[in-house]
Structures are given as C-alpha cells and as structure tokens.
Structure 1
Amino acid sequence: MSDPTPHELYGELFIAVQMGGVCGDGKSFVDALPRSAPAAIRARFDAERSRPGFSLRDFVHAHFELPGHGAPAGPRLGIRDHIRALWPLLVREHRHPVEGDSLLALPQPYVVPGGRFRELYYWDSYFTMLGLMADGRRELAEAMLANFAHLIATYGFIPNSSRSYMLSRSQPPFCFKMVELLHADDPAAGFAQYLPALKAEHAFWMDGEDELAPGQAHRRVLRTADGALLNRYWDDRDSPREESWREDVETAEASGRPHAHVWRDLRAAAESGWDFSGRWCADPADIASIETTSLAPVDLNALLAGLEAAIALGAARSGDPATAQAFEARTARRRQLLQTRFWRAQDGDESGHLADLNWRHATDPRPLTAAALVPLYLGIATPPQADAMAEQVRRHLMGANGLLTTALATGQQWDAPNGWAPLQWMAAQGLARYGHASLARDIAERWCASVHRVYLATGRLLEKYDVAEDRAGGGGEYETQDGFGWTNGVFVAFQDGLLQA
C-alpha cells in the first residue's frame, strides 16, 4: 500500500518550506491539506519560484490549508468535570482522506493527544484509555483498539502515529496492555481474540532474528557478542524527520558524523517516545552525539517480554500448545536477560540499578532513568532489584511534584526537571506491585496535586510538567502542548485507583 509522505509529494517545495521555517512549527506543513492535486501544486511552484517578487509564504498559504492549534477551551470547571468535557473535544474521525493528506484513514473514532498532535498516537493511547475506562467511555476505548488492530492488518505493525510520514517507525509496544485493559476480567481471552495481531506485532519487532550472527543487528533486533537476542529502537528511513526537517539537518551538520547515521538515531529516539533525552547520547549534553541504535533499551525489552507472555497466554487459550510453549520460552529468556544484563552496579552506587545496555560496548555505564521502572511495572524485576530501584527513586528521581524522567539536566524534554504522565503511572504501579505502596502513593499524590494546582492557575492540562516547580514542563523542539490525552487519563486513573479515599 502506498501512502506517500509530504517530502515525496512535494520535493524541493517541501525542503524550501521546512528549511525556511515558513510555517514556524515544521509539523504544520506536513499536516497541511493541499487545496488542489499535489502534482499540480508542485508544477506551479516550479513555474513560479524564479519569478521576481515570488513569496514562498504567500504560495504556501494560497495552496495549502494549514492546521489550527485546536487548543481545548471552555468554561472553568472542577478538574474532573473539565476532563469529562474534554474527551469529546479530543475525538476525531478520518475515514476518507483527500489526495495529498498525510493523515491515514481509520475505521473508528479515536482520541488525539491535543495541540499540535492532531492524529492517533500509539503509546499515548494506552494511557489515554486508562482515563476513558475510568470515565465510562469503554466504547471509545474499544474503537481505539480496533483502529490499532486495523493498522497491524494494513501495515504489519502499529506506526508511531496515523500519519504517512511516520510509517517508517513504531512506538513502545503497548497493544497487549490495551487488550489486557479491555479484558481485565479475563486477559487470556482477550489475548486469544487478538492473537493474530499480537503475533504480527511481535514479528515486526523480531524481523531478521534468524539471520543474525553474534555482534550483529538488523532493524530492531540484535545479538550481543555472546549471542543474546535483544531489541532496539530503529527507523526504516535515515533522512531528517519530515516534521522536524530543519532541526535534524542542523543537528547532523553539528555532529561531525555521517548525516544518515545521525538521522537514523534521531528517528530511532522518536520511535522510543522519548524524543529527546540525554539517555540516548554518548554525551548527554550534546544531542549530536545521539546513539540510540547502539542501545538495547530496558523499557522496550521489558515490554517485549510482556508481549511474549501475552502471546503465550493467548495461544494456550486458543488451543495452540506449541506456540504457547515457544513464547513461554522466549519470555523466560528475555526475563533472565533483563535481570542480569540490564543490571548496573557502579562505584559509589551500593544498591545498583536497572539501565539500558550498550550492546556495542557492554561496559559503557548508562544513566539511571525512569525507564528502569518498567521491569517493575511488568513484574520482571527480582524483589531485591525492586527494593534497590525504590531506593534509587528516593535518592535520585523524586521531585517535589512527582517522578523525574532522568537526573540529567540537558534542556531536552525527556530529562530533568520534567515529569511525564506515563512514567508516573508505570513507576507507581510497579513500585506498588513490589510492596512499596507508600512510595507509589507519594509519587501519585505529588504529581496529581501539581497537575491540579497548574490547572487551577492556568485552566490547562498539559503534556508534561516541571516536577521541581508547579509549572509547565519545558525544553525540546516545541512549546508545551495542552489537551492532553495521557495526562487526563493518568490523572483520572490515579484518582479512581491508587488515590481513591
């Protein structure tokens, strides 16, 4: 199936617009709707561009309908009532795209995050669905899962978002958690129902595993020097991201490295959802040193262990013992690797911590990040490891208003002092799972209280928060967005769960 990207459709016009910053935010142009056929627009550009007085800005506004910001607005309500009022404002349907539209057709309605994020996103949606379920909007959560199953059936995987320019990468694999959420009374039945989709997603992440020799990698799968099979983030393109073209060109030019390598690593970090963080960089303070594809991320490999366990349960329920046994073995192998290869004890660090693995240089010490709590969230860490991680959180990741993303202050949005809804949720759930209920509740209370205070001050629910201060999070490539799907979902789920009186 062909879904051409804006760069493929508009060529030199696209590059001129993005490098010239004509639309301000580069995502505005790639989300714009053409007012006529793309080929005709391109021909007009070629004919007019060299004429005296030609204005690229005027040309773009004449030939494209640029998206609005779409910031949710309304009367000031109590925060729970405000969230309930926001859900219908964040719902979109897109069944019949026009030629040149980068938005992919989907069969069911869905919730978008908000602000500049006008499409369906993969991992965001799980945390949004937590709130939909808590607020009695099960039908909408089911529609979103149906859309993800449709994307797997259509493309063989779930893309980063429902945009043509994001069809070369995925995001953290949360589909099995969505199935589990919607089948909480009998998860195995849900896994059996969605078994073809779950197996297809697993095959996407494991593509090329059978051909790998030790020390080699192919797309998203790698073998360490001693033959251990693990996964990494990747992107099938090695060009600048179309939504951030100028930024990526400038980063590559500052790197002193082959530009295609830098662009691949930037794109791979976008697949992680953590775009960007010092976590991915050889020098955390220098984004041009990014090396995402050299890392086996602790959170990705924990999620894939969860996916493998879900497939085993679904296959067993479906009467397929051979598949069940094969995936039970995969799960056991990956769990053992997570408990051993991803454990780091450093000088001056008595307890140690879970961390990403540099599969090219196994001795490379990786920083402590909130991603290390995903193995607790999924029940993979050993009890002593969970106890050690709880102490690491208390000492290094606890902010005044919630969990820090990392202890690194780099200016990137997935670093200190920012805190993000999905990380608060996974950390609190994971710590509570291992008996650290007081710490889990403390994270939830601090974060929810800050979200509430910022809402009272601004009337907005935000994408990210500064958990050192009561204010919006900052850093990164764009202004903090409001809406906001996963913040709404996690806030509601905490209020109705861990923090319920």
Structure 2
Amino acid sequence: MKLLLNIDQTFSDLLLQEDTDNDKKITKDDTGPKKFVLVDETTKQEVAIEGTYFLSNLLQELAVLKEQNVALGEIDLDFIQENPVERISRKIKTDYWNELTRTIDKKGLAQILNDEKTTNAIPTLYVSAKDKKGVAYFQELEQEVGGFEVAILPEDFSMEYVETLNTKPGILALALEQKIYSLQGVPFVVPGGRFNEMYGWDSYFIAVGLLLDNQLEKAMAIAENFKYQIIHYGKILNANRSYYLTRTQPPLYSSLLIDILKQKKLGQDWLQSHLETVILEYNTVWMVSGNRLTPTGLNRYKSDGVGMPFEVEPGHFDDVLAPYAQKYNLSVREFEKQYLNRTLVDTDLDAYFVHDRSLRESGHDTTDRLINTCANLNSVDINSFLFKYEKDIAYLIKEYFNGSFESNSVHYTAQEWELKAQARQAKINELCWNETAGMYFDYDFVNQKQFPFEAATMFFPLWAGLCNENQAKKLVEIALPQFVKMGGITGSTAASVAGVSPDAPHRQWDYPFGWAPHQMLLWEGLLKYGYHQKAQEMVYRWLWLITKNAVEYNGTIPEKFDLETSSHKVFAEYGNVGTEFDYIAKEGFGWMNASYQYGLQILDDTLKEALNKDTSPGTIF
C-alpha cells in the first residue's frame, strides 16, 4: 500500500513530534508519543505508524524523497513495515555497497580528495613513477580540472623519503582500467565514515560481503587494487595515503582469490597474474630475514618508519610523551614538536613507536596485547594468515597449474608450499600453543617465552585450519566461553584487561569491544572443524546485536560494539565510526555490512525468525 504525502510537511511534523533530543534521528532515547498519523493527500485516508523502529523507517523513506526534491511523493508502507532482518540485508545489498564505492579518476577524484583528512591548501595525489599510464592520465587531469596537485613518487623510495612526505600528505593513486573511450579508476569500497580510502584488511571482509551480494566485479576490483599496490608501492598498504607507505596490513590476498574462484571460473591469465603477485608479496614483504621474518622461522608485524605515526588525532600520545617531556624539561607540546622534527631524538621513545607503528600494521589499533611489544612477537594472527597463504598457494598451483608454477623465472611446486605450511604449523604449535590453558598465545621471541594475553586472535588458527582436533576442541570448550558475551565475542578476555594498569586507557580492540573480523573468522573456523551448532549460536549473537541496534537507533550500523552494554555507544580511543549521520544511514560500515550478509548465509530459518522478533540469545542458548 502506498500513501501520497506532502513530503516536507510530513518530514517536519514527524521530527518535531518524535525527535525529542534533536539528533536528527528517531531512536529509543526519544520520548515522543511513538505514534504518528499519516494522511493521504488524495484520499485523506489515515494510517498510524507506531513504535521507534517503524517511525525511524518512515523518517528514512521521507529523507530519501526530500533529497530528491520531491514535493508530493508516495511512501510505500511495505518498506516502513518491513521486517528488520530483510530491511537491513536489502539496504546493504542495494544501497550501502554503492554508497561506499569510490574511484580515483575524473569522475570520483573530488570525493576522495575533499575529505576531513585533507589538510593541504591544495590536495595532493601521489602517483608512482612506475605507473606511466597513471602519471600521464593524472597530469592531464590536473591541467583539465585543477583543484589538486599531482606529485610523482620515485620508482624506488626509502622510508626516510616517505617521512619527508608528511609535510604534504596526500592520497595514493590506485589502478586504472581501459574502458571503451577512456581510462577509468578501478573501483574500491571504503569502510565508511571518516575512512574514505582503501584499507587493507577491511577490503577482504568487504569483498566477502560483495561476493555474497553477487557483486563479483567489485570483489575482483579489490584484487586488482591489491595487485597494483604490491607492484607500485611494494606492499598492500594499511591504506592508500602517503603516510601509510611505511606499513602493510594483515595478508588476506590469497583468501580473496580463493573466494572469487569459488564463485566464478576465471581465465588462466587472470589467475596467473594474481598468483605471481601473491608470491611476490609473500617473498618481499613477509619473508625478508631481520624484518618481518624472525630467527624462530615465524613472522611478526614490523612497520618501517621512525617516530610517531602521522595519522593520529592531536593529543593521542600525550600520556606517552609526558614523562619524556618532563625528562627534557619541556612542555608536552614543545617536546612533541621537537621530537616530530627530529631536532630531539630519544632512542627509548623511538623503540616505543616501532612497536606502535607495527601494532597499527596488525590492524589492531590499539590493544594492550601489542602496546610496546608488537615487534617482539611472533603473533598468532600473522602466522595464521601466512599459514593460510602457504596452503592457498599450494592449492592454487595444484588445482589450476597441474602442480607446477613459474613466476619471475623461479619454478614453484605445490609440494614445496605444502612443506612451508607444515613447517610453520609445527613451529606455531611448538611456540604458541599452550596445552594447559587450551589456548594459543603470541610468542615473545626476544625474551623466548609466551606472552599470555588472551586475545580473540587465538581463534584465527581455527579459520586457517592449522589446529588438530584436540586443539580445536579445547579452543571451543575452554577458551571460547571466556570471550562470549550476549552479542558475540570480545577482542580479549576481561581477565587479560584486568591485568593491565588501572590508569591505562581502554583500548578499542580489547575487552569489552566486539569487531566484525573476529566474529567472521571465528564462524568460518567453527564450521571448518564441524562445530555447526556453536557457529549458529555465535552468528545469532552478533546478528541479534546488529539488528537490535539498527531497530532502536534509526538503522545505525557501526564500526564496532561495546559487548558489555550491547551498544554502539563506545567511549574508547577513537569513538565509533558509522554513527554520525542525519536522518538516514546511507552506508552502514564496510565489514559490519559484510558480517551481516555472511551471518545470514549461515543462520537457519528458525533463528532468522527469532532475529525479527528480537529474541534474546540468552533465551535460546
């Protein structure tokens, strides 16, 4: 049923009555009557809309028509009264992915350059000198449209050179593709909110959602941009900004290729080029001795660069800098200025920031597990990812190249990659598995002992498939219950956080916060080891929280949750992206969207119905 309404008048009246806290949303926190009567302009038929969820749906549908400058418009009551699960999933598929899609080309460049991270008077676009086609294209575009400056990165650059770019930070170009009449940017999907660039491991989880929503081309485009970054910048970047050239992110490129191939059989040339790049990344980013490869034979996160990371907000490190400022008899601001300019050098502080930059490379920025220790750790997460790389490369060579593959004049066999994986598996189990605790811990190779911080990354071996049945059983029966809250698993256990100084700030990747990547990798791991009912439970808990939050807060789909309060209201470090919008949530948040779509593929129909009824996990499990 549809009603013809005066859009502006209905919109204003609805807000005046129901948005009592004036936040441009209708949420459970508003104290209006929670009942609004619509009157059809033609028939004068009256329809009452009742309850926070349905009223917020009405506000969202009105907001869409207002943006289209519709004076008299039809409201479809089916959309207003749509079940929450169907509405959230539909909007992710039909709206959110498109809203989050970007290109770096004539059409899309302005949206990329003009965001809150652009501090230069004239935005700067950096293009690698290796990319001859890109240099020519963007220099021509600079002359044609203006408003930005093209800067050329040398083909080979040092980390010292990268540090000089901080005086003029900018976006890094990504791949171009030839269309019929012109070059166009290869699309990518951003996380959302203030994250208006291509992030490394976010992109993999986003691709999982894209593939589930039959957007194969966008998932393949992510792979193309991964390949471009490795070739032109030496690594898959934390994100494509100049100050991220010093660090990579968790390696998930091979997993993306496997997922794409499950959906569509692609040409041998396509796979050949990407497999070559995966192997190039493995050899040059991860397996260089003394850098990310350690004497144990296992790996670590190890970012390049010196001093404070460039991207943090002012004052973020004041608690770290204060003792050093006192040591040099300077104010914190004056010390920070001299330290950034390197007119004052402190080796102890430099060592701290080696760990901090490496922590950010891990994607877990920040966690007390990695503060001031990250570069010393053979962490469970990075070694699980690399075990998966080795297994994936072996599988691709065996299944698609008859067991033998040549790349850059080097001959590889599936068997040698299997042996690499077996060696890593044995070493992880030797150094990181704790049989008594029934958990995996990071291994401190400097001090030659396990680092017993209980983090959700201990479930990554389940996802990677490197556990034996005994280890999997202990992880599920002993470790997992210590992480489970009503709405999913926390980033670490309460016990591990309790062991940290009470004066330390809350770290957003620790207890009590919950993140989509941890949930998604856990679910896949549980399914891989046959724990199907436990997977159903863990999926339900997370999707219940996303659904409940969206129902009560105007469709909000945030970056993360506080699992202690089952809320998107997070007051730790960087706040919560995806919560700042007016009237309508247009994009959700990348990996949260993906987790919803992935979870629905796992969940059985009975539990989907329970989600729509807001049935608490506590009454089911």
TM-score range, shorter-chain basis?
A: 0.7 to 0.9
1:130-180 superposed Cα distances (whole Å, 9 cap, x missing partner)? 111111211111111111111111122111011111110011001111111
Letter in 2 for 1:471: S
Counterpart for residue 165 of structure 1:
243
1:323 matched to 2:412? The reply is yes
Counterpart for residue 495 of structure 1:
600
Counterpart for residue 292 of structure 2:
220
Letter in 2 for 1:496: Q
Instruction: Sort the Cα spacing of 1:170 and 1:463 in 2 relative to 1 into closer, same or farther, 3 A.
Output: same
Instruction: Sort the Cα spacing of 1:198 and 1:253 in 2 relative to 1 into closer, same or farther, 3 A.
Output: same
1:452 matched to 2:547? The reply is yes
SS of the residue 1:320 aligns to:
strand
1:297 matched to 2:355? The reply is no
Counterpart for residue 558 of structure 2:
462
Indicate conservation of the 8 Å contact 1:397/1:406, yes or no: yes
TM-score with structure 1 setting the length:
0.76
Bigger strand fraction: 2
Instruction: Sort the Cα spacing of 1:101 and 1:393 in 2 relative to 1 into closer, same or farther, 3 A.
Output: same
Q: Alpha-carbon deviation of 1:261?
A: 0.9
Instruction: Sort the Cα spacing of 1:187 and 1:301 in 2 relative to 1 into closer, same or farther, 3 A.
Output: farther
1:485 matched to 2:495? The reply is no
| Distance in structure 1 (CA, Å) of the matches to 2:288 and 2:528 | 35
1:440-471 superposed Cα distances (whole Å, 9 cap, x missing partner)? 11111010010011011112111001122221
1:173-201 superposed Cα distances (whole Å, 9 cap, x missing partner)? 01111111111168997764512110111
Counterpart for residue 138 of structure 1:
216
Aligned pairs for 1:64-463 (under 5 A) are 78-84=87-93, 85-95=95-105, 97=125, 98-99=148-149, 102-106=170-174, 107=176, 108-184=186-262, 192-209=272-289, 218-223=290-295, 228-244=296-312, 246-247=314-315, 249-254=317-322, 258-281=348-371, 290-316=372-398, 317-318=400-401, 319-320=404-405, 322-324=411-413, 325-345=415-435, 349=437, 352-407=438-493, 408-409=496-497, 411-458=506-553, 459-463=555-559
Instruction: Sort the Cα spacing of 1:297 and 1:499 in 2 relative to 1 into closer, same or farther, 3 A.
Output: farther
Q: Alpha-carbon deviation of 1:102?
A: 1.2
Instruction: Sort the Cα spacing of 1:206 and 1:232 in 2 relative to 1 into closer, same or farther, 3 A.
Output: same
Indicate conservation of the 8 Å contact 2:459/2:475, yes or no: yes
| Distance in structure 2 (CA, Å) of the matches to 1:298 and 1:234 | 14
1:379-428 superposed Cα distances (whole Å, 9 cap, x missing partner)? 11111000000023443111111111101446110011111001101111
SS of the residue 1:231 aligns to:
coil
| Distance in structure 1 (CA, Å) of the matches to 2:96 and 2:250 | 25
1:208-250 superposed Cα distances (whole Å, 9 cap, x missing partner)? 32xxxxxxxx221101xxxx30110111112211111644652
Structure 1 unaligned residues grouped into runs of 5+ = 1-72, 210-217, 282-289
Indicate conservation of the 8 Å contact 1:447/1:467, yes or no: no
SS of the residue 2:453 aligns to:
coil
| Distance in structure 2 (CA, Å) of the matches to 1:187 and 1:219 | 37
Instruction: Sort the Cα spacing of 1:221 and 1:117 in 2 relative to 1 into closer, same or farther, 3 A.
Output: same
TM-score with structure 2 setting the length:
0.62
| Distance in structure 1 (CA, Å) of the matches to 2:605 and 2:223 | 27
| Distance in structure 2 (CA, Å) of the matches to 1:303 and 1:222 | 16
- Most deviating of 237-246 and 327-336: 237-246
| Distance in structure 2 (CA, Å) of the matches to 1:423 and 1:448 | 14
| Distance in structure 1 (CA, Å) of the matches to 2:208 and 2:172 | 24
Q: Alpha-carbon deviation of 1:80?
A: 1.5
SS of the residue 2:412 aligns to:
helix
| Distance in structure 2 (CA, Å) of the matches to 1:294 and 1:148 | 27
SS of the residue 2:570 aligns to:
coil
Q: Alpha-carbon deviation of 1:497?
A: 2.9
Indicate conservation of the 8 Å contact 1:207/1:220, yes or no: yes
Rg: which structure is higher?
2
Letter in 2 for 1:152: I
Counterpart for residue 69 of structure 2:
none
| Distance in structure 2 (CA, Å) of the matches to 1:255 and 1:112 | 38
| Distance in structure 1 (CA, Å) of the matches to 2:101 and 2:447 | 45
Letter in 2 for 1:123: W
Letter in 1 for 2:92: I
Instruction: Sort the Cα spacing of 1:326 and 1:278 in 2 relative to 1 into closer, same or farther, 3 A.
Output: same
| Distance in structure 1 (CA, Å) of the matches to 2:285 and 2:603 | 33
Percent of aligned positions that are identical: 27
Indicate conservation of the 8 Å contact 2:441/2:450, yes or no: no
Structure 2 unaligned residues grouped into runs of 5+ = 1-61, 65-79, 110-124, 126-147, 150-167, 177-185, 325-346, 498-504, 579-587, 607-621
| Distance in structure 2 (CA, Å) of the matches to 1:250 and 1:101 | 23
Instruction: Sort the Cα spacing of 1:361 and 1:377 in 2 relative to 1 into closer, same or farther, 3 A.
Output: same
| Distance in structure 2 (CA, Å) of the matches to 1:254 and 1:412 | 19
Indicate conservation of the 8 Å contact 1:344/1:353, yes or no: yes
Q: Alpha-carbon deviation of 1:328?
A: 2.1
| Distance in structure 1 (CA, Å) of the matches to 2:323 and 2:363 | 22
| Distance in structure 2 (CA, Å) of the matches to 1:143 and 1:276 | 29
Q: Alpha-carbon deviation of 1:255?
A: 6.3
Q: Alpha-carbon deviation of 1:345?
A: 4.1
> Number of residues paired by the alignment?
405
| Distance in structure 2 (CA, Å) of the matches to 1:254 and 1:295 | 26
SS of the residue 1:275 aligns to:
coil
- Most deviating of 466-475 and 395-404: 466-475
1:71-121 superposed Cα distances (whole Å, 9 cap, x missing partner)? xx9657721222131111111111363325611112211110011111000
Q: Alpha-carbon deviation of 1:439?
A: 1.5
- Cα RMSD after superposing both structures: 2.4
Indicate conservation of the 8 Å contact 1:221/1:231, yes or no: yes
Letter in 2 for 1:396: Q
Counterpart for residue 112 of structure 2:
none
Letter in 2 for 1:129: A
